[in-house]
A and B are shown apart, each in its own frame.
Chain A
C-alpha cells in the first residue's frame, strides 16, 4: 500500500512539472532516472522524437480528402489529421469530378482507405494525450499465435452486429481470439505487424504504441486491426487499447478507437 502511494506521489510530481521521460522504441535515451515508463509509438505513427509525435496531426495525408457536410452542404478539403478530426461528424468524403458533375459517394475501396486514415489520426491523438506509466504487466507483447490466446475475442473483425454482441459477451467472460476461432493462422507481415487469417477473415494487426491511456498508472497498449472478410468488400479499421491490471490478470479492452 505504502509503495503504491509513493509511486503515485512520484508520478504526480514528475507529470506536474513536465519532466517526463518519453521516446520511441530504440529512440533517444531517457532524460533522468525515473520510475516512469515512457510513452512509446511505432514508426507508422510518427518519427522517434516526441516533437514528431506532437506534430503528427499536422503532417500531410497521402492525398487530401474532399469532405462534404451533409447537414450544411459545405465543402472542405482535409489535408491533415487535424483537419479530419476537426470536422463535424456529419461530414463525409466524396469524389469530385473534373467534368463538373455532382460529387459522388466514394467507392468501397476508397472508403476503406479513408477509414484507415481516420483511425490512424485518432490513434495519434490518443497517444499524444497518453501519460507515462508506473508499471507494466503486458511485457514485450510479441504478436504471435500464443498471443492470440490472450487477446480478447472482441478484437475479431466482424460485419455482424449479432456476432459483435456475442464476441463482447464472450470476451467479458475471458474468451480469447484463439479460443473463439481455433482455425486462425498468424504470419509475420512486417517489423511489428502480423496477418491473422481464418477461413472467414483476414486482417493485419500491429502494436502502434504504449503508455497510460486511462490514468491508472498501468501501461496500456494500442493494437490496430485492419482488414475484413476473405470474400466480399467489407473491411474495417479499428484500434483497441489493451491492458493487464495485474501480473496474472487477463488482457482487457479498455477503449476502442474507430
Chain B
C-alpha cells in the first residue's frame, strides 16, 4: 500500500484503493510471517498510509507526492501475495481497457495476439482515449491491418533522462506489432496457397 503521486492510497500496478473497504477486499498478508491480515489490521494500515499525505501537504493542499512506494513500508508490513498485483492488473484490464479497445477497434478480438498485447500496453499507459487522440496513425493502421505501420508510429515519447525504462517498453511494443505483421502476412500467404 502506498500513496501515488496524486496522493491516493494505491496498490500493485497503479490500482487505486478508494477507501478502506476496497483494501479489506484484497488478500493482504504480513510480509515477515505470511500470516493473513485481519480486516482491522488492513483498515489500520490503510488509514496510516492515507494520513501520510500530511508529510507533503502541510502548505499546499494538492501538492504532488514526492515519495516512492517503498517509503510507505515503514508504516505497514502488509503485502499482497505473489501474483495478486498482476491479477489486479488483469482484472483492471478486463474492466477498464478491453471494453474501450473493442469499441475503438471493432475487429480487436480477431487481431493477432501480439497486436492485441501491444494495444493493451499502449492503452495502459495512455488510456484508450489517449491512444485514440494522440496516436491516430496507430489506430488507423491497426484498423486496416497494417501492423508494420502501427509499429513505426507506436513510439511513446521518451525523454533523454528517461533511460532504459521508456525505451524498453517502446521496443517491446514495436516488436509486438512487427510480430503481428509477420503473422498476418503468413496467414495471408497460407490462405492464398490453400485457395482452390
Contact = CB atoms under 8 A, between A and B. Distances in A.
Interface of A: 43, 62-63, 70, 89-92, 95, 105-118, 158-164, 189-191, 193, 195, 199-200, 204, 226, 229-236, 238, 258
Nearest to A206: B60
A92 B61 contact: no
Contacts of A158: 134, 157
Which one of A63, A91, A159, A199 has the greatest number of beta carbons of chain B within 10 Å? A159
A235 B2 CA distance: 18
B70 interface: yes
A89 B158 CA distance: 14
Contacts of A108: 13-14, 125
11 contacts: A106-B68, A109-B2, A110-B68, A117-B66, A158-B157, A190-B61, A191-B59, A200-B133, A229-B130, A232-B123, A234-B130
Nearest to B13: A107
Given A109-B14, A158-B157, A226 B69 contact: no
Given A70-B164, A90-B163, A200-B130, A113 B60 contact: no
A95 B130 contact: no
B68 A162 contact: no
Interface residues of B, number: 44
A113 B67 CA distance: 7
Contacts, number: 130
B1 to A, nearest CB: 12
B64 A204 contact: yes
Contact of A235 (B5, B60, B63, B153): B5
Given A226-B64, A229-B126, A234 B156 contact: yes
B9 to A, nearest CB: 12
Contacts of B63: 190
A200 B2 CA distance: 26
Interface string B107-129: 00000000000000001111111
B193 interface: no
A46 to B, nearest CB: 15
A111 B60 contact: no
B69 A107 contact: yes
B59 to A, nearest CB: 7
B10 interface: yes
Given A95-B70, A116-B66, A200-B129, A159 B134 contact: yes
A92 B165 contact: yes
Listed from nearest, the 6 A-B pairs whose CB atoms lie closest are A231-B127, A190-B60, A232-B127, A160-B134, A110-B68, A92-B163
Interface string B14-55: 100000000000000000000000000000000000000000
A106 B155 CA distance: 20
Contacts of B5: 109, 112-113, 116, 235
A115 B129 contact: no
Contacts of B56: 62
